[in-house]
């Protein structure tokens, strides 16, 4: 029971943070529509606005991954999984959760120095008029994978609870 409550608390947190991903999607639509309107309607363009398009993809993908896992929208071979018994589904989910945690830990470890290096250099866009503070964008890599790892913890706890 305690495992399920902890998993539910993590789910709530991932849902709330995942809503930021939805806001980033809405912002991306507005920015892209504005860029198209300015470019083709008025022959105007902005490097900053064009870079903002792909900068918004970072939170969409990296925060959205945990949200997708939370809601079962991730990739899984459902053709095989659907035929498994509930106990075997729990076992598969447990193994997937542990494997996911290992991958997340590896990505966080490998990306942390990358972000710190960018921050130390105060990295910004190489393009004139581009977006500064590129390390903020790069920080979504370990942050997104930490959130994904947290959701894998919830999935693992839920699997353990089902196996009990």
Per-residue pLDDT, 72: 79
Show pLDDT as tens, one digit a residue, over the chain (164 residues): 788 889 989 999 999 999 888 899 999 999 999 999 999 999 888 888 888 988 899 889 999 999 999 987 776 667 787 888 899 989 999 999 999 999 999 999 999 999 999 999 989 888 888 888 888 889 999 999 999 999 999 999 999 988 88
Residue 21 has a pLDDT of 87
Q: Would you report the helix, strand and coil content of the chain in percent, each value rounded to 5? A: 80, 0, 20
Using CA atoms, how far residue 142 sits from 57, 90, 91, 106, in Å, is: 15, 28, 28, 10
* pLDDT attached to residue 128: 86
Residue 91: predicted pLDDT: 94
Note the pLDDT of residue 97. 94
Q: Report pLDDT for 84.
A: 87
Q: What is the value of pTM for the model shown? A: 0.86
- The whole domain housing 107 covers 2-163
Give the chain's end-to-end CA distance (angstroms, integer): 10
pLDDT of residue 148: 96
**140/15 Cα distance (integer angstroms):** 17
pLDDT score recorded for residue 163 = 86
Domain tally for the chain? 1
């Amino acid at each position: 029971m305690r495992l399920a409550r902890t998993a539910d608390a993590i789910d709530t947190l991932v849902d709330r943070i995942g809503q930021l991903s939805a806001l980033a999607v809405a912002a991306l639509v507005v920015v892209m529509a504005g860029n198209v309107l300015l470019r083709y309607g008025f022959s105007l363009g902005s490097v900053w606005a064009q870079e903002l398009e792909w900068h918004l993809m970072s939170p969409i993908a990296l925060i959205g991954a945990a949200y997708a896992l939370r809601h079962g929208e991730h990739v899984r071979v459902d053709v095989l999984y659907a035929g498994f018994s509930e106990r075997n589904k729990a076992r598969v989910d447990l193994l997937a959760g542990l494997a996911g945690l290992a991958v997340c830990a590896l990505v966080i470890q490998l990306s942390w120095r990358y972000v710190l290096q960018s921050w130390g250099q105060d990295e910004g866009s190489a393009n004139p008029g581009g977006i500064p503070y590129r390390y903020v964008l790069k920080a979504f890599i370990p942050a997104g994978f930490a959130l994904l790892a947290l959701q894998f913890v919830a999935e693992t706890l839920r699997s353990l609870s089902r196996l009990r």
